[in-house]
Structure 1
Amino acid sequence: MSDAGNWSCVLEAKDIVSFLVCVFPNFEEWVGLGQMEDCLSVLEYLLWVFTPLVIVFILPFLIVILLYLSILFLHVYKRKNQLREAYYNNLWDGARKTLAVLWDGHGAIWHGYEIHGLEKIPDKGPALIVYYHGAIPIDYYYFLANVIIRKGRTCHSVADHFLFKIPGFKLLLEVFSVIHGPQEECVRALRSGHLLGISPGGVREALFSDETYCLLWGKRKGFAQVAIDSRVPVIPMFTQNVREGFRSLGTLRCFRWMYERFRLPVAPVYGGFPVKFRTFLGDPIPYDPNVNAAELAERVQQAVQFLIDQHQQIPGNILRALLERFHTKYKDH
């Protein structure tokens, strides 16, 4: 519009609305509002696309925060109970039960957690629990909480070496009897009458398994030799939808290469979805002196695979696992 046209429009304006209609197009061009609107549109689009991605990568860190809060609680508990240590056999019983209640509550609220077959865990005496390892084994934490609350027992656990190198985790691992896994130490724990939990797939299974729930045990049979040397039954365990709760990007070639080359478990984990978790315990496999470690390892792997085939729809689906939260009662397949 020409200058003459602009002044003509302004002079003919009868009210403020007419005046703004005349002035605003030039004002918009002068301050660059048109470009600003384009920028805001792009920003809005980016927020719409990336916000869900940011959330799913942040939620796994909430579990780490919960673990550190648990450690903080243990330190506070230790300081307040130092004087009582001389009068009680075990300083940490109260702390373990308190944290077990907190974690059990988390499982009930966030995942509607259920456990089926807990009666197969002996009230006394040793047993080896062998389980499928999710991207984050939060289902195993819930299982430990249930054993403490409902069985009144503490289950020892075998964890990868890198867990012992995480700053601040030492006290938590000690209180909950986590060991790094030499066979002699595992046998010692079982012969002392304790429960022991182990995942033969370990970090490899956590990082590189996926929604098809493939077992990545390789030719590992050390856990079977532990059961034979200790003469204890083996109880298989699997948690439905554990891969839909948290997933790993370990299937990407770069992360797989870094682990195989440097043994660095750096594959990002995302998720934290409030899907339905159900833990299933299979029938105990009794000690048999006529079965060697390779045969027992194969039998245990088949037992865990049977639980997967029976209780998990493959491939796993996050939406379906979310909808299962609304199922009031589980029906056996």
Structure 2
Amino acid sequence: MSDVGNQSCLATAEDFTSFLLCVFHSLEQWAGLGKAEDYLSVMEYLLWVFTPLAVVFILPFLIVILLYLSILFVHVFKRKNQLKDAYCNNLWDGARKTLATLWDGHGAIWHGYEIHGMEKIPEEGAALIVYYHGAIPIDYYYFLASVLLQKGRTCHSVADHLVFKIPGIKPLLEVFSVIHGPQEECVRALRGGHLLGISPGGVREALFSDETYPLIWGHRRGFAQVAIDAQVPIIPMFTRNLREGFRSLGRLKFFRWLYERFRLPFAPIYGGFPVKFRTYLGDPIPYDPNVNAVELAAKVQQAVQSLVDRHQEIPGNVLRALLERFPSKHKEE
């Protein structure tokens, strides 16, 4: 039918434009679409109807974004003298403080981030900080920023080897003293008088823990041996509502099998909810030469679990965590 239509068009068309219109109508009839103008008119009508609705919802959202960007600018501007001094002393110190200020502002604005027990972080000298690992450890980024801004100290960190494979991330890891984590390197950092943060649960805890906040440490004791070799205290750390901010679908059997079989951390993560984050630091566990790595690891795990039990309502609830952003809805602990 299309060939017949084309021949008819060739016979009747006076110019090229007429030929194209004739072919287009022939295709409409062949495809059984009727007149395309009708469909276009309907689409135009729907666009006319829904455009005001889209504007009604999109514009307030854009205003909220602008508002938060303005607050972030004020937060950075408030620290302009500190940033100026940091850049005068050292270029990388300035870069670190600038990024820390941005992260600190993001935490304050989006999650009302607070730290309880910052006085337990020593002003100088080494300590090992052991923390619960969320689906995305964004609380730890806020913590690093707060330690840098409030204590003037850069906390070294241990990250999974997969982090080092992210294209282009190496300069950032170097600036913030992130290491892969061989025990010798960790001990060296602590003996150098630095703070060091590590999560024994790591990727497995990030993917497979859930709103009931189980600690998934397995038989990992390397962190305890590091503290013993460096003769430093261990400070336990936990953030309330961390799993309500971001959650993982790793509890599904397929993703668990995928990780255990191929070590592929491909479990979807969802969230980004502006829930209330409160980081709690427990009492430091001092170095004891009479305690071995197995005993120390168990003691630290118990300390982190105690923070979870004391400060986290289980199971976690996103709505409840959102309401905690409003002081009248939350009873201070």
Report the counterpart of residue 326 of structure 1 in structure 2: 326
Question: How do 1:1-333 residues align onto structure 2 when only pairs under 5 Å count?
Answer: 90-327=90-327, 331-332=332-333
SS at match of 1:161: coil
Q: CA RMSD in A?
A: 2.2
Which whole-Å CA distance do the structure 2 matches of 1:242 and 1:132 have between them?
Answer: 9
Change (3 A) 1:330 1:157: farther
Which whole-Å CA distance do the structure 1 matches of 2:260 and 2:278 have between them?
Answer: 32
Q: Which amino acid aligns with 2:189?
A: A
Which whole-Å CA distance do the structure 2 matches of 1:285 and 1:301 have between them?
Answer: 11
Change (3 A) 1:330 1:170: farther
Cα deviation, residue 325, structure 1: 0.3
Cα deviation, residue 331, structure 1: 2.3
Q: Which amino acid aligns with 2:209?
A: S
Moved more, 90-99 or 151-160: 90-99
Q: State the Cα deviation string for residues 253-278 of structure 1 (Å, max 9, x = none).
A: 11111110111111110000000000
SS at match of 2:133: coil
SS at match of 1:226: helix
Report the counterpart of residue 13 of structure 2 in structure 1: none
Cα deviation, residue 330, structure 1: 5.8
Q: State the Cα deviation string for residues 165-215 of structure 1 (Å, max 9, x = none).
A: 000110010000000110000000000000000000000000000000000
Cα deviation, residue 327, structure 1: 1.9
Report the counterpart of residue 72 of structure 1 in structure 2: none
Q: Which amino acid aligns with 1:187?
A: V
Which whole-Å CA distance do the structure 1 matches of 2:168 and 2:310 have between them?
Answer: 39
State the identity as a percent.
Answer: 79
Which whole-Å CA distance do the structure 2 matches of 1:160 and 1:136 have between them?
Answer: 13
Which whole-Å CA distance do the structure 1 matches of 2:236 and 2:149 have between them?
Answer: 20
Q: State the Cα deviation string for residues 212-247 of structure 1 (Å, max 9, x = none).
A: 000000111000000000000000000000000000
Which whole-Å CA distance do the structure 2 matches of 1:220 and 1:169 have between them?
Answer: 27
Which whole-Å CA distance do the structure 2 matches of 1:214 and 1:150 have between them?
Answer: 31
Report the counterpart of residue 14 of structure 1 in structure 2: none
Which whole-Å CA distance do the structure 1 matches of 2:332 and 2:304 have between them?
Answer: 19
Q: State the Cα deviation string for residues 126-166 of structure 1 (Å, max 9, x = none).
A: 00000000000000000000000000000000000000000
**What TM-score do the two structures reach when normalised by structure 2?**
0.73
Report the counterpart of residue 8 of structure 2 in structure 1: none
Aligned length: 256
Cα deviation, residue 91, structure 1: 3.4
Which whole-Å CA distance do the structure 2 matches of 1:291 and 1:92 have between them?
Answer: 39
Which whole-Å CA distance do the structure 2 matches of 1:264 and 1:93 have between them?
Answer: 35
Which whole-Å CA distance do the structure 2 matches of 1:153 and 1:142 have between them?
Answer: 14
Which whole-Å CA distance do the structure 1 matches of 2:98 and 2:144 have between them?
Answer: 13
Mind listing any 5+ residue stretches in structure 2 that lack a counterpart?
1-33, 51-86
Which whole-Å CA distance do the structure 1 matches of 2:213 and 2:281 have between them?
Answer: 17
Change (3 A) 1:330 1:193: farther
Q: State the Cα deviation string for residues 76-123 of structure 1 (Å, max 9, x = none).
A: xxxxxxxxx9x96x5311110011000000000000101110110000
Which whole-Å CA distance do the structure 1 matches of 2:331 and 2:113 have between them?
Answer: 12
Which whole-Å CA distance do the structure 1 matches of 2:115 and 2:327 have between them?
Answer: 15
Q: State the Cα deviation string for residues 268-322 of structure 1 (Å, max 9, x = none).
A: 1000000000000000000000000000000000000000000000000000000
Which whole-Å CA distance do the structure 2 matches of 1:103 and 1:318 have between them?
Answer: 22
Which whole-Å CA distance do the structure 2 matches of 1:299 and 1:145 have between them?
Answer: 28
Structure with bigger RCO (C-alpha 8 Å, 6+ apart):
1
Mind listing any 5+ residue stretches in structure 1 that lack a counterpart?
1-29, 45-84
SS at match of 1:160: coil
Give structure 1 regions of 4+ aligned residues with deviation exceeding 3 angstroms. 30-33
